[in-house]
Amino acid sequence: MADSTESESRKLLVRLREAMAGDEAGQARLDKITHLIADSMGTEVCSVYLFRDDETLELCATEGLNTESVHQTRMRMGEGLVGRVAKYGKVVNTPDAPGAKGFRYMPETGEERFSSFLGVPVQRLGEKLGVLVVQSREERMFSADEVYGLEVVAMVIAEMTELGAFVGEGAALSPLHQQSVLLRGTSAQEGSAEGHVWLHEPRVVITNPIADDPHREMERLIEAVDELRVGVDKMLEVSLDGDKEQMQVLEAYRMFANSKGWMRRMEEDISRGLSAEAAVEKEQSQARARMSQVQDSYLRERLSDLDDLSNRLLRILTGQGATSSADLPVDPILIARNIGPGDLLEYGRSLRGVVLEEGSVGSHAAIVARALAIPLVVNAKRITTEALNGDHIMVDGEQGVVHLRPEDMVTTAFRDKMAMQAKAQERYSSIRDRPAVTKDGKTVNLMMNAGLMADLPSLESSGAEGVGLFRTELQFLVRNKMPKRTELAVLYKRVLDAGHGKRVVFRTLDIGSDKVLPYMKPTDEPNPALGWRAIRVGLDKPGVMRMQLQALMRAADGRPLTIMFPFVAQFEEYRAARAEVEKTLERERRLGHPLPEVLDVGAMLETPSLAFAPQKFFEEVGFLSIGGNDLKQFFFAADRENERVRKRYDTLNVSFLSLIERIVERCESTNTPLSFCGEDAGRPIEAVCLAAIGIRTLSMRPASIGPVKSLLLRVDLDALRKIIADARHRGEQSVRPAVMDYLRDL
């Protein structure tokens, strides 16, 4: 690249900085900028389009088009050449704009007079802010240097927009990070919370996007990259004895940190006039834009690695983001793109809620959030770019809705809802010690789900009659290597001690699908939910299963012990797992260890196939627990992670209830104890219907026990069963409307 070109680029950025240093209002600054860019690039037109909402661009300033069209001309995302640049985040460079595919004629602007068109996205870290356009009368392609120079300018405009340099009247010039925002995601853990934002990775604010001294900026970049490389090398040294996958990730980090192409592009950005921080962020923004377009999971992971390295480099350059848990607000709501179970456990119960930009309802983070009873919303798009540390935020875990910087009316309504929930909890505490006996004298046992020692105090406070499901995989998920048998035995013993003699059902390791151990090689499966998981992993790796069974038996230390195998799809799988239990018992007997006083071994019924197992299975199995979440998704062939389909199918659908009734009948014929475990067990309406068709044990999160018991105390299960039968006889698809009418009459 010629020195003269670089010099012109730097001159333009210096002129832009001078223009933005004045006292003009935001509109005047934008007008001055479009004039400077057009003058510097020798074009007749320069225009800035900014988003007024998620889908609409507005012409906010122009040099060369009709000034009357400013704030009047608008277009949808993808509409016209400008809309194409915005939608795809890619440059459009054409010598014949009116003849280009997708051109939209806007008579109010007078742009039909101009042939050449160059549009570049104005974006910051994946957040689309607008489009910068230059046009000229002569038909010509803009050179690579001109394209690159305009991208550098767009980067500066993005940074100054972030800093509020263009605030004015109208939606398109409204200040960022100050408006009330409603974000819709997916509910991964119910509950409501109000607090203030705590960013897991605080965003770096760049206040000096334009370099004063390019040579000094180059030195700063080189020094920071050297520090980054040393840091990555140290991580590799520490992890030399770690698992292969972790080493591969760190090797990818090292590869990117030593990438000559990455370094060359940032040096070129600085030579164009950007500061070291702005050069790093420009590359990061382009990587994020590419990431949003890439479907291949491997490439997305590699781009994510580059994104993470860029964040580390920015923190080195700016010194920002060096906060600690001591800086947490008193009512923190954690905001992150994604987060591992270990990091979430470190925050622990200090959090009021969690909102993730990515994630899933079955992710590790969701499992921990449920264990900690923290409201969690996942898939809340743009939350990490919209939120700032300290922002007021309200999280509705039931609806999967987040109110960021809410208006007074929203705040009042939300607080009223939380007050009603608190009052209901007070009412539930008054019935905590009462058995759940219905109006017609039937008793329903209410158990709680758990996965951490921190859950166990809820056994007393919730009124649960025991632990219907203790998830043992959490202790495996939060570590970087396989836990030792002695460590697990100590933990399981503490769980049994905390149960004070109440029944605790330990579910053996349920990994695979969305729960991949960090130290286990992941399997590349097209549909992991139907793949190598749970009991299938246990039977293929019997050493791990035996180790866990030994730990459980030693923890029991002569007390009763209840073990449940997950995701059993056929009789032979249960028989094989039960054989491992017998082998372990025999080994413990030979070693002279105390054996469990009573050993109850059961299975989770999560696949429709097990409902049709041979009669012999129901006679042999110690007990069954219906895993409602998985059974429902497999019964309806509707992925519970997929918002498009999962809400189409109702638990109170007649077909699904008929399957549950068949399981109840088969268990009654063999006197096999049966329970129902899952989200629906903790929903009062679904819970009373499950009880009405014959299920007498329900296991749920502790906070749901009060609401479920409250409704059970007021219903007549025989009457409710007749209502369900009548709705089925009428040919209704779901019994919910009829059940709701009955409950309203109560």
**Crossing angle for the helix pair 214-238 and 244-257, to the nearest 10 degrees:** 170
Alpha-carbon distance 555 to 547, whole Å?
12
What the block records as the tokens of 182 is 């409603």
Q: 177: which residues sit within 8 A by CB, 6+ positions away?
A: 386, 387, 388, 391
733: helix, strand or coil: coil
Of 48, 66, 147, the C-alpha closest to 113 is: 66
What the block records as the tokens of 202 is 């605080």
Instruction: State yes or no: is 35 an active-site residue.
Output: no
Whether 374 contacts 457, CB under 8 Å: no
Taking the CB of residue 7, how many other CB atoms lie within 10 A of it?
Answer: 12
Alpha-carbon distance 567 to 60, whole Å?
58
Instruction: State yes or no: is 364 an active-site residue.
Output: yes
The 3-state secondary structure of 445-497, one letter per residue: EEEEEECCHHHCCHHHHCCCCEEEEEECCHHHHCCCCCCCHHHHHHHHHHHHH
Alpha-carbon distance 632 to 232, whole Å?
45
Alpha-carbon distance 363 to 537, whole Å?
18
What the block records as the tokens of 121 is 């996205």
Taking the CB of residue 370, how many other CB atoms lie within 10 A of it?
Answer: 23
DSSP 555-578: HHTTS-EEEEES---SHHHHHHHH
What the block records as the tokens of 582 is 């017998």
Of 120, 137, 108, the C-alpha closest to 47 is: 120
Residue in 46, 60, 71, 364 annotated catalytic: 364
Q: 486: which residues sit within 8 A by CB, 6+ positions away?
A: 551
Q: How far apart are the first and last CA of the chain?
A: 80
How many Cα atoms are found within 13 Å in the side-chain-facing hemisphere of 396?
20
Of 247, 229, 228, the C-alpha closest to 238 is: 247
Name residue 353's beta-bridge partners: 333
Alpha-carbon distance 424 to 704, whole Å?
11
- Residue 544 has φ and ψ, to the nearest 5°, of -65, -45
Whether 434 contacts 230, CB under 8 Å: no
* Burial of 239: CB neighbours in 10 Å, binned 0-12, 13-18, 19+: middle
Name residue 394's beta-bridge partners: 194, 403
533: helix, strand or coil: coil
Alpha-carbon distance 559 to 562, whole Å?
10
Residue in 46, 60, 677, 689 annotated catalytic: 677
Whether 471 contacts 456, CB under 8 Å: no
Taking the CB of residue 423, how many other CB atoms lie within 10 A of it?
Answer: 10
- Scan for tokens 């699908």, then name that residue: 513
404: helix, strand or coil: strand
The alpha helices in 565-701, defined as continuous H runs, are: 571-591, 608-611, 615-620, 628-636, 643-646, 654-669, 684-692
Q: Which residues are catalytic?
A: 364, 677
